[in-house]
């Protein structure tokens, strides 16, 4: 009886893929707005010396108020505003709106990012040496 050899199937090679960047490391700036949409405080990094993105968020929150009042919409949870190099996500937290300016990433629309942003404690930015209050 001949002995046969078994040749295993070749294992497909998996390319080296960098793990995704933690969400906190993606933050380049943050702005806090009260529930009326008025700005309260800002946190910036040296990469975000231009604060024009805050004006865009302010306008988006004003539009949100207008739409909710005129169309009687309820339940705003988040909005995403995309630029060429950055993206901002605006989330409603318990007592404020928080806008996070993020490095442009493909996974920005991930539900996990939105959930993370809704519970993100801004105290982390107050104590992070990358950020300064503006």
Across the beta sheet with 27-33, what order do the strands follow?
78-82, 86-92, 97-103, 27-33, 39-44, 132-133
* CB contact at 8 A, 86 and 28: yes
Q: What is the pLDDT of residues 40-58, one digit of tens each?
A: 998 988 877 777 888 888 8
* CB contact at 8 A, 133 and 41: yes
Q: What is the pLDDT of residues 64-118, one digit of tens each?
A: 777 777 776 677 778 888 877 778 888 888 888 899 998 866 555 678 888 888 9
CA–CA gap between residue 70 and residue 76 (Å, rounded)? 14
Is the per-residue pLDDT at 39 higher than 50?
Answer: yes
| Residue 57 C-alpha from the chain's centroid | 13
Task: Report domain extents, the chain.
Answer: 23-133
Range list of β-strands (E), the chain: 27-33, 39-44, 78-82, 86-92, 97-103, 132-133
User: 3.40.50.800, 3.30.450.30, 1.10.10.60, 3.40.630.30: which CATH number matches 23-133?
Assistant: 3.30.450.30
pTM higher than the cut 0.85: no
């Amino acid at each position: 009886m001949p002995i046969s050899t078994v040749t295993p199937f070749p294992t497909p090679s998996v390319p080296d893929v960098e793990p995704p960047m933690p969400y906190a490391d993606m933050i380049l700036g943050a702005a806090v707005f009260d529930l009326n949409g008025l700005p309260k405080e800002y946190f910036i990094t040296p990469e975000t010396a231009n604060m024009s993105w805050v004006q865009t968020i302010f306008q988006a929150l004003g539009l949100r108020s207008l739409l909710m009042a005129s169309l009687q919409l309820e339940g705003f949870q988040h909005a995403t505003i995309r630029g060429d190099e950055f993206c901002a996500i605006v989330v409603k937290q318990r007592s404020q709106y928080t806008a996070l300016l993020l490095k442009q990433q493909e996974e920005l629309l991930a539900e996990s990012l939105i959930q993370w942003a809704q519970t993100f404690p801004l105290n982390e930015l107050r104590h992070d040496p990358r950020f300064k209050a503006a």
